Structure 1
């Protein structure tokens, strides 16, 4: 029996060797292609993918697609997925590879078996986008071309993809202050528009998710709401932020009871406001409602939201919207509540506090009081807090100089998980220096106490510091203690004296933006120590020579020293900045070659 076993094992080993080395001949455009029988990939689809690879430039990419090699199984290539039974390519996901190409190569549209296509966060260009052959993707269920450098009208062929479940053509709103011209500068914005929203969605009845943020829909008039209600009855996610929408938020949308996420922020800028769409409060499965900057007016109904799973409610920057703080069927599920730059007030007594999951809170002047804050409890999950102290929502008034935010800061200090704090027109003292867990601090028009407190140096975990207007006097050298800082953004402040040399100690800084903020004198030479800096923009009264040490910043991709008083020659060391894609030294008194 043992000898039979050994013979069987030897036979199986030889069979394995035979199968692994045997060659199958497949027709490929009239030519014979030799592929191991174990390959799942179809040769014509591998050829199309290789042609697509040839169309890409990899100058800024995060990959070389090195696995995309002729003679290998394309089903194992980076970003490629195949059906396990047929071997057809069903997934092409090259999200955020930073690839560049001059339009979509026609080879892409021969992959007719695709079900999921994601080319987002690549510069695929827009020259041929209108004539692209998306209609060939009859099996496509998910299409993501967000932030991919597209421009012009949305290709009509996309509206023919009747099996689509998810469509994303967005340019995601980017907070420029979170890097400004740094890493986010290399996102590839779409510049798309659609003149007939009704025609566009007429065949997309299977859509569950629609993301068109920053697509210009201004020519669609008021039809967007009625069109969605008529043609896309199963829609669950509606994201139309910053689409230049007009007209009312049509009541026809009340028929879309399946809506879970509604994002309509930054729309409706015509002079006349609109009432809060009360029917949104009746959607049983609503989890996200973002209506910031939508020119809402009047009063919010006093009845509670019906959804027991509401996580995000953002009504901020609707300065004519008033009422009492909303009621919730289940406040314990709420993670974001933003009422800053509104006219909401709270009723006494306040509802029982059970905001146990709240992570982000934005409050207007009327709500900044210990009476109201105590109703929330400890808020141990709170990570972001924004306090809007502007009087009557006017930028040129702040809380009276006698107002005491000491108890408020004491309350804030109890929240050890707080990582982001925004103060808008708020008077405060050095108490901010006690919030040592902060990673982001934004101060807008916080000028009551004049100079920046030296206790700012206690915030050693800070990653992002934004100062817009306010402050006076010299910047404290304690700024150099913020050694974990990644982004420094200062605009319109009234600092005096030179830029402190201690800025050169911020060696982890990636982006520095200082515009018209009062600094005078020369640029400190220690700025050459900021060797991780990718973007630097300085405008204002800085004078003297551009220090030769600037040539040490060899990671710089963006350098703008505009409208200063620099004189002399451009330092020769600037040739070391081989990563530069933007150099602006205009409006100075520079000379030489």
Structure 2
């Protein structure tokens, strides 16, 4: 009996050791396929001298002591997945997201029949999504987002009856959404955004009665939004923006979606009127459609609302005054590109939470409400292209978090005064005051406070995007922002925080360009055109090393173009036309790329690319100022007169000697020696 028991134990231990060896070999094969391990996480830890159950990212089961979970997420690893990984037969959890794994997925992984969790998201895998993924009948989560997968969504995924989460967004998947997918009755999260899917949204989507998140944005889907979507009472997130959907929204749809907190139907060619959403809604985005009518007053009862985007529609009427009362919860208000009239609400409450307020391109009148000063976290303020009539809002100096200020194309007037508050727009990066009636000198004190453009405020290693995180969805609060850059009206989908612009064009600013502008070292676009500026183009503008666009046209500037502007190595657009500039155009570097249009109607300019050539004196830069030139000219004339006078006296004296002595042999000998010397040469 003892002998039999001993023998049996030996067999079990041998099998157990053998199985551990199989798992170890599989993991070592994976390690050998890692070509870059910047943090040495596997290089130093995955060693045969220790048990694999103690290796980083490895979890073993307590019963069989086999590897049941492998989590290598966010380790910055680069490599491929070896076929041997399919030998981890007890593996239930495989997570390698946020790395740089690449290549195709080996079919040997189909042997991982115990898998419940598979996350390959945010890597560089390519090829088609394997159809044999449908063999993972226990799979609850499949995440393949942000890779390079091509082809269609395999219909075999409909076999995953226990699947709760499917994320295939941001790949290159094409074709239609397979109807078989809606057999996955346990599905709660479905994300297929940023692919090339086409066709209509199948009505069978209504079978997913447990679905709480539906993200299909940025595809080529067309047709009507199936009414069956609004029968899924569990839905919390609907994101269908940037497709070719059309038609009328389901009447009273919000009555069927009591838990909805995020709705994004941007750019879907929908029409009708704005419906009052449920009290649970936090983000209401229906921009770039064909909605008409006004904003329903009941929207002001939504105390949970943190963002509203009704921009780019045909809405009219006035902006409800009660929106100001919601500012203690609202983070974003986007109402631009509509037909709203009347005044901007005046009652932004103390403790206002607004980060972005955009009402540009409407027909609003009156003044800019001073209560906006209560919004201490305001990042972006755009009231451009309205009929506002006001002086420059000096009280904005209290908003030390403001990045973007756009007052363009209104009726603002007067001087841009100095600030008398402690903090003055230190983070401001984009200032557009163009097409108003501002006057006086360019505001030196204003420029002095622009620390974010002068030396960079809170410098980052990587540039940030001007955007706000909204739970699971990223809201880019600068999306669609329109700025005149490099001579063109440009609309930005995503705006980098390092983008810096000053546009004071089409006003009545006078005086010279202040020296402080030369200290705005991070400036990319500077537009001072169509004003009444005088004096020379200052040479210190050559210190703006990041400048890509400089427009000083239609002013009264005079003098030469400073050669220091050749230091602007990134300059792509230069417009100095319609001034009183003279002298040669600098040659070389970026100046070789500019055309005649950059210098039009400066009659005294010369040199390439103009057809007017410069005189030799004009081409040689003056070394002295006018007083020195006048002094040199006087000295030169005096020297000539002195030489002429002395020569005349000497000549007359010589002539007198010759005629009185008859034989001036000493003079004849001197002349003869000189003649013989030149004859030999």
Determine if the alignment matches structure 1 residue 405 to structure 2 residue 367: yes
Pairwise CA distance, 1:313: 1.6
Deviations 1:93-126 (A, max 9, x none): 444444333x54434444454444444443333x
Please say if residues 272 and 291 of structure 2, whose CA atoms lie closer than 8 Å, have aligned partners that are also in contact: yes
Pairwise CA distance, 1:346: 5.8
Determine if the alignment matches structure 1 residue 192 to structure 2 residue 172: yes
Pairwise CA distance, 1:240: 1.6
Alignment of 1:108-507 (within 5 A): 108-125=85-102, 127-128=103-104, 135-151=110-126, 153-158=128-133, 160-171=135-146, 190-198=170-178, 201-202=181-182, 204-218=184-198, 221-222=199-200, 224-230=201-207, 232-268=208-244, 273-278=246-251, 279-301=253-275, 304-306=276-278, 308-325=279-296, 327=298, 331-342=302-313, 343=315, 345=317, 357-364=329-336, 372=345, 374=347, 378=349, 380=351, 382-391=353-362, 399=363, 403-406=365-368, 408=369, 410-425=370-385, 430-431=392-393, 434=396, 436-443=398-405, 446-448=408-410, 465-466=429-430, 470=434, 477-478=447-448, 480-482=450-452, 483-484=456-457, 486=459, 487-490=497-500, 500-504=517-521
Alignment of 1:41-80 (within 5 A): 42-58=20-36, 64-65=41-42, 68-71=45-48, 72-80=50-58
TM-score for both structures, normalised by structure 1: 0.63
Aligned pair count reads 475
Distance across 2 between alignment mates of 1:327 and 1:524: 53
Please say if residues 437 and 461 of structure 1, whose CA atoms lie closer than 8 Å, have aligned partners that are also in contact: yes
TM-score for both structures, normalised by structure 2: 0.56
Please say if residues 309 and 333 of structure 1, whose CA atoms lie closer than 8 Å, have aligned partners that are also in contact: yes
Which residue number corresponds to residue 395 of structure 1? none
Gaps of 5+ in 2: 1-11, 148-168, 460-496, 507-512, 530-536, 553-561, 575-585, 596-681
Distance across 1 between alignment mates of 2:85 and 2:394: 54
Pairwise CA distance, 1:201: 1.8
Deviations 1:252-279 (A, max 9, x none): 223322212111122226xxx4222442
Distance across 2 between alignment mates of 1:440 and 1:367: 25
Which residue number corresponds to residue 10 of structure 1? none
Distance across 1 between alignment mates of 2:109 and 2:346: 53
Distance across 2 between alignment mates of 1:492 and 1:254: 47
Please say if residues 236 and 262 of structure 2, whose CA atoms lie closer than 8 Å, have aligned partners that are also in contact: yes
SS of 1:254's equivalent?
A: helix
Deviations 1:205-242 (A, max 9, x none): 33211222202212xx11x3424334x33221111221
Higher helix share: 2
Distance across 2 between alignment mates of 1:352 and 1:431: 19
Pairwise CA distance, 1:362: 2.5
Please say if residues 152 and 192 of structure 1, whose CA atoms lie closer than 8 Å, have aligned partners that are also in contact: no
Pairwise CA distance, 1:191: 3.3
Pairwise CA distance, 1:128: 1.9
Change (3 A) 1:386 1:107: farther
Which residue number corresponds to residue 605 of structure 2? none
Pairwise CA distance, 1:371: 7.4
Distance across 1 between alignment mates of 2:63 and 2:350: 52
SS of 2:228's equivalent?
A: helix
SS of 2:172's equivalent?
A: strand
Please say if residues 404 and 429 of structure 2, whose CA atoms lie closer than 8 Å, have aligned partners that are also in contact: yes
Please say if residues 325 and 344 of structure 1, whose CA atoms lie closer than 8 Å, have aligned partners that are also in contact: no
Deviations 1:428-482 (A, max 9, x none): 7542762544435334672545999576998667557346895799796436523
